[in-house]
Structure 1
């Protein structure tokens, strides 16, 4: 498999004339006279490509043969469509969000993780997507399709997804059934120095799941929608855990290395790490704790000031296709959004089983991440609570709890 190379760097008449131009739906214009707009409309028709496409991604999300000449789903796209792909790769989700907010820059599309996607929608930095213009859209997992639906509009095309498991070394740790194994102070102390955690503010959600059962008086419902009191409680859990954590991993390969070298025996992990370690004959398993499990989805989104909408829609169709999804899944080591990637001989049965591709009962158990916001919930209504905490507050809590304590 080609998973490791990517994961070493890593923790989608005018298409939318209205998208880049006016609400009147005129043809796509080109040249210097084109004026940027602040809020794009939904596309209604598909037209010829404009010859160019500017994309924004995290490392390893798009491969054009530069990392490995055998891995390239960009060149065939360019040859088929005439759309030359320009790729801007950023190191962090925060850098991605800042670039999408920069009025001096214009990206046609962005492969957004959940902590970025929700904020871009709220800030009108991305345009609604017309799924009828994306061949194969209805073949994508239904639950994933609904994650970026707001006010009846779709704001993203699912690309890949994963789940945050409780991972353990079977030689050293008895099969854990609860997040308490990681967050209860007495239990964490048993494996002090050999715990690993994702280095992400969204990892607060797992602490919230633990508190949801451990401290019912907090009345936590959605682990990604926390009131100030609930967030403070989760921060205290993480601060108490901090002395026992051997590593906060950013790159998935770092967690693999820690378990392979015996420096870790328990922690947060993805099916990717479990799969790689098992292939190396390491006795590591991943479980869904009794409190539940969180997950994430990366999706391709259209920039609100898109310059090449026709090429962007062709890219959406391309990356949702089974053959490209197969390549993406093998390279990134995460589950494809299109289960047809597992049909025929595209992906090995073992891969599809390990990542639960097409297993809708499994998907229904996952609490998928969304960007925390002041308005509680994913798509709040007028009657919903408005006293939750946003991603900036989560980031401060994460830093204070995991970086500033000894």
Structure 2
């Protein structure tokens, strides 16, 4: 199980997030979605050549397994060399060594890689499995589609939901207020996510409960809005039992009774194998994560890399990855391959776009406001990192 811990040095953050030029919007210049911002001009691969002998992949645990790589090697002649990473920051650092061809990046790493010129735009004509069966909600997103160019091939997605012990929380919560307000009846038994990106969770709550702040996107916070989110987080700190970044620790906290409700992933509730743990997507919505394959700007094995992206996007392989990790697959055709696949897709809301319309997927905060504002600077990831330190004390 991976840990998405987002600590990053000031030097790294400054280098990756110092974007300049035109302000960002939620629509690209050609109307295909994504952002419109200045990024390094990295060329896209026009034509495929002969497959090289290998492909070097950085991936989350469970994304690249022998059951799939052996068949891929037999079909293509490309040996898969896997490096498992535990954090998004580790992935960014490893991609900058030049030793890897592909990475399974989450939205909190994608813009850092694109802004740093570390990954290249993708020629979707070379990836036939990126077609009509890829769920629409994972195409053209602001964390991996820049200036009309796709930099990521979707793998899977999930929401950060409110999990609770139904033996203690006997009525299903409809709001996040039980996890944020100081008068919560579960004060002292609330668990929260331990990472700077968790600031966005506070922003989602404020969007619903303090509309005068003018927050339109939880990853586009000016200094005033960031302060409001931090103030809320400090208030929550007083009712938190513990913070988690290690999923095993989160499960232990619930099982041991230290926690009765708080932020979770759907797969963590399932891993408890106990019907008393339930979850809900509250009325305010939530944050979430979406992962995508991204190709190194100076890949030494681009042909094998393109072959892997296409292979891993097939219904069978993409579905196997989704089931192995515990998330909604990107290729909806997988959901019709078996009764087990259908049940998995229903559990993770794979094709339920109404569900995911309420989910704000992790996106690296940058100074250009991704909500379209041009009259103010938004706060960047380093500022969020500093702010998170002040929350934890």
- Report the TM-score range of the alignment, normalised by the length of the smaller protein: 0.7 to 0.9
Structure 1 counterpart of 2:164, from 146, 168, 186? 168
Q: For the Cα contact (< 8 Å) 2:336–2:342, is it kept in 1?
A: no
Q: TM-score, normalised by structure 2?
A: 0.85
After superposition, the C-alpha distances for 1:36-63 in whole angstroms (9 at most, x for unaligned) are xx85311222222111111122333322
1:33 corresponds to:
none
Which stretches of structure 1, 4 residues or more, deviate above 4 A after TM superposition?
none
2:134 corresponds to:
140
1:91-110 superposed matches below 5 A: 91-102=86-97, 105-110=98-103
Q: TM-score, normalised by structure 1?
A: 0.82
SS of the aligned residue for 2:183 comes to helix
Q: For the Cα contact (< 8 Å) 2:178–2:186, is it kept in 1?
A: no
2:145 corresponds to:
149
SS of the aligned residue for 2:113 comes to helix
Pair 1:392 & 2:382 matched: yes
Structure 2 counterpart of 1:127, from 117, 120, 123? 120
1:340 corresponds to:
333
Task: Using the TM superposition, give the Cα deviation of residue 227 of structure 1 relative to its aligned residue in structure 2, in angstroms.
Answer: 0.8
Task: Using the TM superposition, give the Cα deviation of residue 161 of structure 1 relative to its aligned residue in structure 2, in angstroms.
Answer: 0.6
2:24 corresponds to:
none
1:377 corresponds to:
370
In structure 1, distance between residues paired with 2:217 and 2:301: 38
After superposition, the C-alpha distances for 1:107-158 in whole angstroms (9 at most, x for unaligned) are 2111111110011112221100011110221121112011122111101000
After superposition, the C-alpha distances for 1:58-90 in whole angstroms (9 at most, x for unaligned) are 3333223xxxxxxx2112111211111122223
SS of the aligned residue for 1:163 comes to strand
In structure 2, distance between residues paired with 1:39 and 1:284: 48
Judge which range, 320-329 or 257-266, deviates more.
257-266
Task: Using the TM superposition, give the Cα deviation of residue 349 of structure 1 relative to its aligned residue in structure 2, in angstroms.
Answer: 3.1
In structure 2, distance between residues paired with 1:368 and 1:117: 12
Q: For the Cα contact (< 8 Å) 1:114–1:371, is it kept in 2?
A: yes
For structure 1, the residue ranges without an aligned partner over 5 or more in a row are: 1-6, 12-37, 65-71
In structure 1, distance between residues paired with 2:271 and 2:83: 29
Structure 2 counterpart of 1:45, from 44, 47, 54? 47
Structure 2 counterpart of 1:235, from 226, 230, 235? 230
Task: Using the TM superposition, give the Cα deviation of residue 324 of structure 1 relative to its aligned residue in structure 2, in angstroms.
Answer: 0.7
For structure 2, the residue ranges without an aligned partner over 5 or more in a row are: 5-39
